[in-house]
Structure 1
Amino acid sequence: MGPEIADLARTAGTTMVTLMAGQAWEAAREGLVSLWRRFQPERAEAVAGELDAARDDLLLAQRSGDTDTEAELTAEWQARVRRLLAARPEVAEELRRVLAELAPQLPDQRASAGIRLNADVSGSGRVYQAGRDQHITER
């Protein structure tokens, strides 16, 4: 699986968990479940139930101040989508369409859209990366 597919799975998992606690949840849920219905129909109902359970877990965690659950759920759904894409690469185009439809529902798209940082350093080289402001003072 190439880095583009891995990035797509990360985006999908993050999007789903981000929208779980909001008003766009039903649309997000239906969009993802529809992919399973189409490409792995035998798993679709189980995935729908797992999404509902994940949402319940997230809402409970938010009420109790648990900050780890969101990250755990994000990683879990990123992995599930990655496995679907690995098994059925043709899902990628349809997933991109679903994510494009959900994008306007995501909070503060301006702050996170299109930021990707990569660095390769060797020897005594240094790399400083930031998605926004960065202040470095070296002596």
Structure 2
Amino acid sequence: MEPLALAVGTALVSAMATDAWQQARSALTALLRRVRPEQAEQIDVDYTTARDRLLAALEAGADGIAPALETDWQFRVHLMLREHPEIAGELRRVLDAELTPLLPGNEQARVGTVMHATASGSGRVYQAARDQYITER
């Protein structure tokens, strides 16, 4: 599964347990209305239902539901990207500008931003999700 789908699905579920869940839901629904208008309302209901289930599970002390929900939403986003690959840029923008900033710092780090960079001319780009050691002469 592509990293973008993994990150977006994780961010959506992470936002469910915060006060910012409505904003995350709005960002998701707005995107869906453009690419899957016939399914936008149902997915909006599904997101709200998933949030209710997550909160009930957390209240009961059962924290194992979050990974299952993440997998579900990651797969949904994956399918959307397969059907509409042209929305990858917009989905990346939604992730970076709308979803990730809604999350607490520890959740932002867990979601991770999908890295992208551009070099021009004789420029170089070095990216790492962790330690990186570069030796050039």
Equivalent residue in structure 2 for 1:38, among 34, 46, 61: 34
> How much has 1:111 moved relative to structure 2?
4.5
Q: Which residue of 1 aligns with 2:74?
A: 78
2:63 aligned with 1:67, yes or no?
yes
Shift of 1:115: 9.8
Deviations 1:16-48, CA, capped at 9 Å, x for gaps: 000001111111001111111000100100100
Q: What is aligned with 1:97? A: 93
Name the count of aligned residue pairs: 114
* Identity in percent: 40
Q: Secondary structure at the match of 1:90?
A: helix
RMSD: 2.2
- Matching residue within 15, 22, 27 for 1:26: 22
TM-score (norm 1): 0.74
* Cα distance between partner residues in 1 of 2:8 and 2:113: 15
**2:29 and 2:44 in contact (8 A); partners too:** yes
What's 1:55 paired with? Answer: 51
CA–CA distance in structure 1, aligned partners of residues 63 and 77 of structure 2: 23
C-alpha distance after superposition, 1:89-127 (max 9, x if no partner) = 0111111111112222222257444699xxxxxxxxxxx
Residue number in structure 2 paired with 1:107:
104
* Conserved 8 A contact 2:92-2:114: no
In the alignment, structure 1 segments of 5+ residues that lack a partner are 117-130, 133-139
Higher RCO structure (Cα 8 Å, ≥6 apart): 2
TM-score (norm 2): 0.75
Larger radius of gyration: 1
